[in-house]
Chains A and B, each alone.
Chain A
Amino acid sequence: MTKETITVALAGNPNSGKTTIFNHITGTRQHVGNWPGVTVEKKEGLIQHNGHRLRVVDLPGTYSLTAYSVEEIVARRFLVDEKPDVVVDIVDASNLERNLYLATQLIELGVKLILALNMADVAEARGHHIDAGKLGTLLGVPVVFTVGTKNQGIKELLDKVVAVAEDRDTVSRHIHIAYGHELEKEIKKIQDVIWQDPSIGRRYSTRWLAVKLLENDDAVKEGVGALGDIGSRILAQADVGRARLAQLYQDDTEMVLTDQRYGFIGGALKEVLRVSAETKFDLSRQVDLLLTNRLLGFPIFIFFIWAMFQLTFTLGAYPMAWLDAGVGWLGGVVAKLLPAGIFRDLMVGGVIAGVGSVIIFLPNILLLFFCIALFEDTGYLARAAFIMDRVMHLIGLHGKSFIPLLMGFGCNAPAIMAARTLESERDRILTILINPLMSCSARLPVYVLLAGTFFGASAGNVIFTIYALGIALAIAMGKLFRLTLFRGESAPFVLELPPYRVPTLKSLLIHMWDRSAIFLRKMGGVILVGSMVVWFLGAFPRHPATPAFEPAGRSQIALTPAPVELPSAGARSSHEMETSERDKVRLERSYLGRLGRLIQPIFAPLGFDWQTSVAVLSGFVAKEIVVSTLGVLYATGSDGNDENEALRHALRASGMTPLGAYALMAFVLTYVPCLATVGAIRRETNSRKWTAFSIAYTLTLAWVVAFVIYQGGRLFGLG
């Protein structure tokens, strides 16, 4: 038994079934994180196999190791710098030719490689017969057949990993992909210069370095350039070689090299692949002809999206209500158990209300991610991008941006997480940045209150214009960001449309749970701290006569904060009147109230009074709170519909005009949706900078939009 841990990297093309294999190898012992500095997800797991400790690292799915995309850079950096003991290349056996391209690059890198010919059953069914023994000999790489979906071949694969790690495998040998006389000559010349400093050759494959330099690879050039004098000489030799080859072939050298690699693959396949007549009825293709049909494609797509929406938000509302009740119950119990005081107020008003406001989203998130996993694993997501790309491309986005943006109308937090399906980091960040402009369901209560109060019968139309305003702003900002922050060549839309597959329940559930767990873990932290801060601002400085105000979390979406001490039925009404009056005074004197008065001049040009300013501030936690805070500040007592009516009276009496109400709605639409969304942005961009930017730009935009509406409206005499 070896003492040391064997590090195994899983490489492979997207859609090669790599994730399924990884899930089978590691089961639930997975650790999900991010690769340093980027938003690409990093998964690894520690397992025991026949007394050996294996650390299995799942590299991002890539078609190549050219270092054009973030995923490729990450995968390559890991292979080159961290030197895993064994690399397993998961290859789609039914799509051998293109999948082997990555293998040629791995061979060139000089890693200890194993090929896992996955989906071997599909390949057989299609009449592709692969001579694995011969393929292994030609490539100098052991080959194992696997069927990830049926958990076949995994044990053999792990046996092979151990054997290769211990250099016991007889097939493993190092081969060179022959590039032909002229290219080889230049490779040799560069290698000769590299060998002038033997320390380089001990750390990297000199042949790989030489090939990469001929390919004009930026990352390698940079690394070599940093080596000082010897580096400059190597680069100079590479420049000479590249110039000569470009002259000779009348094309860029990297294209010639790619050609040669495919030539090598083609030659190998001639010997190992036998295709019996492909007469089989291709079910996947028939399904696709229906799902992307010119007439039916869109209606079917809309139906699926509608179903996903219904499942997530309508069906999800039931467990959400149960959790909400549970959180309320817990708050009541804790309030009874703990002695009155700051600690109890903090627990009930800060911690339970705040964390509860996140927990209640769990059903939505589980359901949404189940649906997305279903779309992804069946292969439909690629088709959704295929049919929507034309529309999304008009606003500078990718076809796959559509689903995250649409989900934003339900709730921005999971919608932002759904942006993970976008491969390009630029597209992903852009989609995340404009997502908050999709008006989520939590903003609706604010619109309903304001539009209902000031626009009467046309409230519905007014609310509709707010939604439309959000979409228009998203398009405008998307264009603006594309022209400023994300300038330059956008990634080519080379989208693989994998065959439709029946997903396994296990993989769907792992998929769903992975993402949901991240939501709970990471955002719980942000929410916890954030709601405690807002609670503190609302509850301090304390005044002996005024009990603490709870800035209600989503779990207490009442129009007034629920009193902590439940009064007896008889004394209820007068007690509540008293409570609400005290709440008003206390909130007015609290830091939040003072802050509201302090910043009111900023909001004055938008027509907001200080109460509205405080409400907007408290809405940073969650948008529904805007309503409850207004309720407290205008001190409308009692409960139920009367209370709602009272608040409406109070609003009309406050001097707010329909124009001011509309400006407020536009402001609420545009500024930072809620803490949970901020948490999601922080988590998904993996960057404080983008998080801060998102907050700053939505606040600025909200102010500008509200200003234009309010002042513009007054100019036309609407105020």
Chain B
Amino acid sequence: MIPLSRFKEGERGVIIKVQGRGAFRKRLQEMGFIKGTEVFVEKYAPLRDPVELVVKGYHVSLRVEEAAQVLMKRQGQEAE
């Protein structure tokens, strides 16, 4: 499992787990960050934070510290 914050621009992966506190996790889940969902890293902001992602066909941005709470596996790679 790799935190989403370690992904580079243009990389793609699948969500394994969303960590963090209740309200934050819930909000992310409601926005479509569900286990098994594919995430594409569109780009980082000019100051490297936040990061823009494509989830369920729409663009959304998270702060890097928040993206670190989303655990991923790279696509085509087995879960550890």
- Known contacts A97-B56, A390-B47; decide if A492 and B24 are in contact (CB<8 Å): yes
Give the residue among A252, A489, A497 with the most B Cβ atoms within 10 A.
A497
A292 contacts partner chain B, Cβ-Cβ < 8 Å: yes
Which residues 82-122 in A have Cβ within 8 Å of B in the complex?
Answer: 94-95, 97-98, 101
Interface pair B52/A98, CB less than 8 Å apart = no
> B28 — which chain A residues lie within 8 A by C-beta?
492, 494
> A63 — which chain B residues lie within 8 A by C-beta?
27, 30-31
What is the total number of residues of chain B having a CB less than 8 Å from a CB of chain A? 32
A155 contacts partner chain B, Cβ-Cβ < 8 Å: no
B76 contacts partner chain A, Cβ-Cβ < 8 Å: no
Residue ID in chain B nearest A99 by CB atoms: B58
> A391 — which chain B residues lie within 8 A by C-beta?
47
Which residues 238-296 in A have Cβ within 8 Å of B in the complex?
Answer: 252, 254-255, 258-259, 262, 289, 292-295
> A496 — which chain B residues lie within 8 A by C-beta?
31, 58-61
Task: Report the bound CA distance from A335 to B13 in whole Å.
Answer: 75
Interface pair B66/A492, CB less than 8 Å apart = yes
- Known contacts A259-B34, A298-B46, A494-B31; decide if A66 and B26 are in contact (CB<8 Å): yes
B74 contacts partner chain A, Cβ-Cβ < 8 Å: no
A485 contacts partner chain B, Cβ-Cβ < 8 Å: no
Residue from B27, B31, B35, B50 in contact with A98 in the complex, judged by beta carbons closer than 8 Å = B31
> A95 — which chain B residues lie within 8 A by C-beta?
56-58
Per-residue CB contact flags for chain A residues 56-74 toward chain B (1 = under 8 Å, else 0) read: 0000000110101000000
Task: Report the bound CA distance from A666 to B50 in whole Å.
Answer: 36
Task: Report the bound CA distance from A494 to B70 in whole Å.
Answer: 13
> B22 — which chain A residues lie within 8 A by C-beta?
252, 254
B11 contacts partner chain A, Cβ-Cβ < 8 Å: no
Residue from B24, B50, B58, B59 in contact with A389 in the complex, judged by beta carbons closer than 8 Å = B50
- Known contacts A493-B50, A495-B60, A497-B60; decide if A258 and B23 are in contact (CB<8 Å): no
- Known contacts A68-B26, A493-B62; decide if A98 and B32 are in contact (CB<8 Å): yes
Interface pair A98/B56, CB less than 8 Å apart = yes
B63 contacts partner chain A, Cβ-Cβ < 8 Å: yes
> B30 — which chain A residues lie within 8 A by C-beta?
63-64, 66, 101, 258
> B66 — which chain A residues lie within 8 A by C-beta?
492-494
Interface pair B45/A387, CB less than 8 Å apart = yes
A375 contacts partner chain B, Cβ-Cβ < 8 Å: no
Interface pair A255/B25, CB less than 8 Å apart = yes
Interface pair A259/B47, CB less than 8 Å apart = no
Task: Report the bound CA distance from A495 to B29 in whole Å.
Answer: 14
Which residues 33-47 in B have Cβ within 8 Å of A in the complex?
Answer: 34-35, 43, 45-47
Name the distance in Å between B40's Cβ and chain A's nearest Cβ: 12
> B21 — which chain A residues lie within 8 A by C-beta?
489
Residue ID in chain B nearest A96 by CB atoms: B57
Interface pair A495/B23, CB less than 8 Å apart = no
Interface pair B58/A294, CB less than 8 Å apart = no
Interface pair A495/B57, CB less than 8 Å apart = no
A136 contacts partner chain B, Cβ-Cβ < 8 Å: no
Per-residue CB contact flags for chain A residues 373-387 toward chain B (1 = under 8 Å, else 0) read: 000000000000011
- Known contacts A389-B49, A390-B49; decide if A489 and B23 are in contact (CB<8 Å): yes
Task: Report the bound CA distance from A289 to B48 in whole Å.
Answer: 15
Task: Report the bound CA distance from A499 to B30 in whole Å.
Answer: 20
Task: Report the bound CA distance from A68 to B52 in whole Å.
Answer: 23
Residue ID in chain B nearest A216 by CB atoms: B22
Residue from B27, B58, B60, B63 in contact with A68 in the complex, judged by beta carbons closer than 8 Å = B27
Residue ID in chain B nearest A95 by CB atoms: B58
Interface pair A494/B45, CB less than 8 Å apart = no
> A292 — which chain B residues lie within 8 A by C-beta?
43, 45-46, 52
Interface pair B24/A293, CB less than 8 Å apart = no
Task: Report the bound CA distance from A297 to B44 in whole Å.
Answer: 12
Residue from A97, A489, A497 in contact with B24 in the complex, judged by beta carbons closer than 8 Å = A489
A393 contacts partner chain B, Cβ-Cβ < 8 Å: yes
> A386 — which chain B residues lie within 8 A by C-beta?
45, 50, 52, 61
Task: Report the bound CA distance from A255 to B57 in whole Å.
Answer: 21
> B27 — which chain A residues lie within 8 A by C-beta?
63-64, 66, 68, 492, 494
> B50 — which chain A residues lie within 8 A by C-beta?
386, 389-390, 399, 493, 495
> B58 — which chain A residues lie within 8 A by C-beta?
95, 98, 496, 498
Interface pair B52/A389, CB less than 8 Å apart = no
Interface pair B26/A389, CB less than 8 Å apart = no
Per-residue CB contact flags for chain A residues 477-513 toward chain B (1 = under 8 Å, else 0) read: 0000000000001001111111100000000000000
> B55 — which chain A residues lie within 8 A by C-beta?
98
Give the residue among B21, B28, B34, B48 with the most A Cβ atoms within 10 A.
B34
> A101 — which chain B residues lie within 8 A by C-beta?
30, 32
Task: Report the bound CA distance from A186 to B63 in whole Å.
Answer: 37
Interface pair A254/B26, CB less than 8 Å apart = yes
Residue ID in chain A nearest B49 by CB atoms: A390
Name the distance in Å between B20's Cβ and chain A's nearest Cβ: 9
> B24 — which chain A residues lie within 8 A by C-beta?
489, 492
Name the distance in Å between B8's Cβ and chain A's nearest Cβ: 14
> B60 — which chain A residues lie within 8 A by C-beta?
494-497
Interface pair B47/A255, CB less than 8 Å apart = no
> A489 — which chain B residues lie within 8 A by C-beta?
21, 23-24
> B61 — which chain A residues lie within 8 A by C-beta?
386, 389, 493-497
Interface pair B34/A262, CB less than 8 Å apart = yes
- Known contacts A493-B66, A494-B62; decide if A387 and B46 are in contact (CB<8 Å): yes
Task: Report the bound CA distance from A68 to B61 in whole Å.
Answer: 19
Interface pair A389/B29, CB less than 8 Å apart = no
- Known contacts A95-B57, A497-B52; decide if A262 and B45 are in contact (CB<8 Å): no
Residue from B47, B56, B59, B63 in contact with A497 in the complex, judged by beta carbons closer than 8 Å = B59
Task: Report the bound CA distance from A98 to B56 in whole Å.
Answer: 7
Name the distance in Å between A97's Cβ and chain B's nearest Cβ: 5
> B23 — which chain A residues lie within 8 A by C-beta?
68, 489, 492
Name the distance in Å between B14's Cβ and chain A's nearest Cβ: 14
> B31 — which chain A residues lie within 8 A by C-beta?
63, 98, 494, 496
> B62 — which chain A residues lie within 8 A by C-beta?
492-494
Name the distance in Å between A450's Cβ and chain B's nearest Cβ: 38
- Known contacts A66-B30, A492-B23, A492-B27; decide if A498 and B59 are in contact (CB<8 Å): yes
Task: Report the bound CA distance from A389 to B31 in whole Å.
Answer: 20
> A389 — which chain B residues lie within 8 A by C-beta?
45, 49-50, 61, 63
Residue ID in chain B nearest A389 by CB atoms: B50
Task: Report the bound CA distance from A496 to B32 in whole Å.
Answer: 12
Which 7 pairs across A and B sit closest by C-beta, in order of nearness?
A390-B47, A497-B59, A258-B29, A64-B30, A297-B46, A390-B49, A97-B56
Question: Can you name 28 A-B residue pairings with CB atoms under 8 Å?
Answer: A66-B30, A95-B58, A97-B56, A98-B56, A101-B30, A252-B25, A259-B29, A259-B34, A262-B34, A289-B43, A292-B52, A386-B52, A389-B49, A389-B63, A393-B63, A399-B50, A489-B24, A492-B24, A492-B28, A492-B62, A492-B66, A494-B28, A494-B60, A495-B60, A496-B31, A496-B59, A497-B52, A497-B61
Using a CB–CB cutoff of 8 Å, the interface residues on chain B facing chain A are 21-32, 34-35, 43, 45-50, 52, 55-63, 66
Known: A258-B26, A493-B63; 9 extra A-B contacts, CB below 8 A, are: A66-B26, A98-B55, A255-B29, A258-B30, A292-B46, A297-B45, A492-B27, A494-B27, A497-B52
